[in-house]
Amino acid sequence: MGDESCRSEDCDLLLSAIYMHFHSMQELTQLPRQQGILHWLNDPRSRRGYAKADGFYTDHDRERMPTSIPVPRVEGLAVEEIDANLICCVCQNLLRDPIVLSPCAHVVGGPCVQYLHNNVCPRCQENITLGSEPIPARYAQERVLELRLNCPFGMSYDLDTRTYVSLRIVLESIQGIAPGQGDAFEGQLFCTEIIRYEDLQLHILECPFRPVRCSGNSYGCPAVIPQTGLIHALHMRSICPAREVDPCPRCGASLRFTEMESHNRTSCLGEIVHCDNENIGCPEMVSRGDLRAHMERCPYSSELVQRDLKRCYGRIEELKRENATLRETNNALRRENAALREANGAAEREDKEPRNERGAARRRAVAEY
């Protein structure tokens, strides 16, 4: 089974490069009872989706989904509790390429031998002898390869507890879904296969529920969805911007959702548009498919008419500029006239004040006489 077996480092590398499902159990259980599973798939109030499993976790909020979540450990995928003898006593992880220590016969992972201190067995503290060719622990290796695991695409990372749980448990936790009632959705939402550790790598590559980039990513869809199943179908039918929509009712062209606006604006042959000569006076509106024929007979398309119209429009623009200049000149004259009136009024007031003073002096002289 050597060449066909899943080597631990290969499986670890593959698990760190996949997309995994995530959810918020706290928000999930607060959804209205009657909405159930299908509404949860599209409910914006519940954080759920797929994120890259690359060994670290990015904080999140309602507006920003996590960009990464922890890599699922093989130990966490095991159907039954793993025998402690299959856990390396040096790194506390599943045995990788195990070897037998001599003379105590305890087993450690091959890559961890270099971390043994003073040639002492970490389990029994006996002195050990490390030969030039370590003895493979074949029995332990076979037991590791025979471990029964849940498919990682049947698991989900809980944002609240920061642990991986079965999607079966997630479904049964939705209000209104009693234990066992989610079975009808299992084969449609996630993978339910139990696989041997030996076959894990191949299954990950071939699992029909493996999350992948949406096929509409070239049209701008950023979604990650399972390759098949209910979530895939719902996304491609009602969410993906690259989804196919009904043919154009005006011209019958096959369209994707993202193409509708540009199609109507630039290419739909049934769209009613203005004549290209609208700027020189043609009032006609025709379908885009008939526009070329209209342009051939449009009276405004005549070279002589267009030349005369352009001359007229040119003269109109000149008159507009002249009119604007005259208006500015007129406004300047008005401002100058207002200034002259103000100056004249001030001069009259200055001349009137001495006359009033002379009259008052005469009246005082008469009164004294």
What would the mean pLDDT of 269-287 be, rounded to a whole number?
Answer: 84
Asked if residue 174 has pLDDT above 70, the reply is no
Does 361 reside within a domain? no
Name, of 59-73, 152-166, 213-227, the range with top average pLDDT: 152-166
Q: How far apart are CA 284 and CA 275, in angstroms?
A: 6
Q: Which two tokens stand for residue 202?
A: 């191949």
Name, of 7-21, 116-130, 240-254, 327-341, the range with top average pLDDT: 327-341
Q: How far apart are CA 22 and CA 157, in angstroms?
A: 4
pLDDT confidence of 38, banded at 50, 70, 90?
A: low
Is 69 in the same domain as 9?
yes
At 283, which CATH number? 3.30.40.10
Residue 108 structural domain? 84-143
Q: Which of 111, 128, 143 is the last residue of a domain?
A: 143
DSSP 326: H
| % of the chain residues with pLDDT over 90 | 11
Domain count, the chain: 3
Q: DSSP letter string over 9-71?
A: HHHHHHHTTSEEEEE-HHHHTTS-TTTHHHHHHH-TTS-EEEEEESS------SSS--SEEPP
Instruction: Yes or no: say if 11 and 201 are a contact pair by the CB < 8 Å rule.
Output: yes
pLDDT higher at 310 or 228: 228
Does 30 reside within a domain? yes
Is 6 in the same domain as 37?
yes
Is 62 in the same domain as 166?
yes
Name, of 20-24, 167-171, 178-182, 234-238, the range with top average pLDDT: 20-24
pLDDT higher at 242 or 317: 317
What pLDDT does 4 receive?
42
Asked if residue 153 has pLDDT above 90, the reply is yes
Of 20, 23, 7, 30, the closest CA to residue 96 belongs to 7
Does 44 reside within a domain? yes
74-113 pLDDT tens trace: 888 899 989 988 988 888 888 888 999 888 888 998 888 8
Does 342 reside within a domain? no
pLDDT confidence of 179, banded at 50, 70, 90?
A: low
Does 306 reside within a domain? no
Is 271 in the same domain as 123?
no
Is 156 in the same domain as 274?
no
What would the mean pLDDT of 14-27 be, rounded to a whole number?
Answer: 84
Q: Which of 124, 143, 162 is the last residue of a domain?
A: 143
What would the mean pLDDT of 62-68 be, rounded to a whole number?
Answer: 69
Is 21 in the same domain as 112?
no
pLDDT higher at 132 or 60: 132
Is 62 in the same domain as 13?
yes
pLDDT confidence of 2, banded at 50, 70, 90?
A: very low
Q: Which two tokens stand for residue 281?
A: 């006076």
Q: Which of 98, 118, 143 is the last residue of a domain?
A: 143
- Residue 74 CB neighbour total at 10 angstroms: 21
What pLDDT does 42 receive?
62
Does 40 reside within a domain? yes
Does 137 reside within a domain? yes
pLDDT higher at 108 or 130: 108
Q: How far apart are CA 22 and CA 49, in angstroms?
A: 6
Please report which residue ranges of the chain form alpha helices under DSSP H. 8-15, 25-28, 36-42, 74-77, 138-145, 167-172, 183-189, 200-206, 230-234, 260-262, 291-297, 303-368
Is 89 in the same domain as 77?
no
Asked if residue 251 has pLDDT above 50, the reply is yes
pLDDT confidence of 239, banded at 50, 70, 90?
A: confident
Is 59 in the same domain as 203?
yes
Is 270 in the same domain as 219?
no
Is 130 in the same domain as 161?
no
Asked if residue 7 has pLDDT above 80, the reply is no
Is 263 in the same domain as 277?
yes
What pLDDT does 215 receive?
83
pLDDT confidence of 197, banded at 50, 70, 90?
A: very high
What would the mean pLDDT of 117-142 be, rounded to a whole number?
Answer: 84
Lowest mean per-residue pLDDT among 1-5, 152-156, 271-275, 318-322: 1-5
